[in-house]
Amino acid sequence: MARRLTVAEQLASEEKDILLDRISEQSGWSQFLVMQAVLVYGAEHDTFSCNQLRDVLPELGHGFLGAAINALRQGGILQHTGQYVPSTSPATHGHPIALWRLSVKGLLIAEQRRTRTQQRPAA
């Protein structure tokens, strides 16, 4: 028999569901832009954390950063380095966050994008 949730656990679960609903209501386009920014940043840096990405993204992008990282990781484009750094976000109180790098697949995608960009005629 499954353990019953306490009132506090039920409220926390409901609050999490509400937050997830609000995030999913946001534009898919915004998350796509953040994913593109992560890919470009990863192509220019050997390793990176969300600390560095938050520094270059507009405030709106911060809410999509975790979802973008997860989507890119699940797609095989990012890989975890196995290392952590303290978060610089005041809301996280310095908890450890992952260092990431582009996977081989991610590096290939970045190179293909770079080649296409260089082949475009100047406007």
Instruction: State yes or no: pLDDT of 60 exceeds 70.
Output: no
Tokens 């656990």 correspond to 9
pLDDT digits (tens, 9 = 90+) for 25-55: 666 767 888 899 999 999 999 999 999 999 8
Domains of the chain by residue range = 27-117
Mean pLDDT of 93-116: 93
The CA-based angle 114-120-123, given to 5 degrees, is: 130
Q: Is the pTM of this model over 0.85?
A: no
Instruction: State yes or no: pLDDT of 85 exceeds 80.
Output: yes
What are the residues whose beta carbons fall under 8 Å from the beta carbon of 112, sequence distance 6 or more? none
**DSSP code of 120?**
S
CATH 1.20.140.10 fits 27-117, yes or no: no
Locate the DSSP E strands across the chain.
Answer: 78-86, 96-102
Q: What is the pLDDT of residue 27?
A: 64
Neighbours of 70 (CB within 10 A): 11
Neighbours of 39 (CB within 10 A): 19
Q: How far is residue 42's CA from residue 104's CA, in Å, rounded to a whole number?
A: 12
Q: What is the pLDDT of residue 79?
A: 98
Token pair recorded at residue 81: 């380095």
- Taking Cα atoms as reference points, which of 69, 12, 6 lies closest to residue 35? 69
- With bands split at pLDDT 50, 70 and 90, how would you rate the model's confidence at 58? confident
